[in-house]
């Protein structure tokens, strides 16, 4: 059974830290011992860029079950940091949340001939569309699954610096997007996470990861 390119395996590389590398070894054992084998896959719904599939599985003990999986091509989240140490965030209405949320710029990878686009290219595009800025430097900080219990979406996190206005030829948001931009000192962004002002999971994770990076570098 051929997997969609959107179904990816966890990335695991040795860290050089004994406690963490021991956990990585345990995860590798769990891959072998706890694997749920897919025996049948049924597409239930196909949307613009997501597919809902029902997977019939066999557990290691031989018992049968099923999993409802949303197959998502993956996405990027961008932390745009200006020379004053401010993060550029966006405000947009989220129907699923029932209100407007404060978030970092982010977006889904485009699909070309069945293959998701390069995440860095997507990061540049989403930054320009949502904030009107371009980045002279785009650095990959890491990544994480958004909700691995039911969706394949993997988010690649980028730090965007050397920001400059895009100019008259800037890329515009999608027609159905209504976005406002907010500049917030990165320390205040951390406080916004801690106080619940920022409730968007991808932004919470990104801001806290970035904060550790900035604190370690003496910002």
Active site residues: 175
189-205: string of b/e by CB count within 10 Å (b at 16+)? bbebbeeeebebebbbb
Residue 2 DSSP symbol:
P
Half-sphere exposure of 41 (CA within 13 A, CB side): 13
Consecutive H or E run containing 59: none
Strands 115-116 and 133-145: unpaired
Q: Alpha-carbon distance 193 to 167, whole Å?
A: 32
Consecutive H or E run containing 140: strand 133-145
What does the H/E/C string look like for 159-208?
EEEEEEECCCCCCCCCCCCCCEEEEEEHHHHHHHHHCCCCCCHHHHHHHH
Packing angle, helices 201-216 and 186-194, rounded to 10: 130
């Amino acid at each position: 059974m051929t997997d969609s390119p959107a179904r990816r395996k966890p990335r695991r590389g040795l860290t050089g830290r004994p406690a963490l590398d021991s956990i990585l070894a345990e995860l590798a054992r769990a891959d072998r011992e706890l694997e749920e084998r897919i025996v049948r896959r049924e597409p239930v719904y196909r949307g613009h860029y997501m597919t809902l599939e029902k997977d019939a599985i066999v557990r290691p003990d031989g018992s049968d079950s099923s999993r409802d999986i949303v197959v998502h091509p993956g996405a990027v989240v961008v932390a745009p940091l200006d020379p004053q140490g401010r993060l550029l965030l966006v405000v947009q209405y989220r129907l699923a949340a029932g209100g407007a949320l404060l978030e970092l710029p982010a977006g889904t990878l485009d699909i070309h001939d069945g293959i998701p686009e390069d995440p860095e290219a997507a990061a540049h595009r989403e930054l320009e569309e949502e904030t009107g800025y371009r980045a002279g430097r785009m650095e990959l900080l890491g990544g994480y699954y958004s909700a691995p219990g039911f969706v394949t979406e993997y988010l690649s996190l980028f730090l965007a610096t050397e920001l400059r206005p895009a100019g008259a030829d800037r890329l515009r948001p999608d027609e159905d997007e209504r976005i406002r931009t907010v500049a917030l000192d990165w320390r205040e962004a951390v406080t916004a996470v801690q106080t619940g002002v920022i409730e968007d999971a991808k932004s919470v994770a990104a801001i806290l990861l970035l904060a550790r990076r900035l604190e370690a570098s003496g910002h």
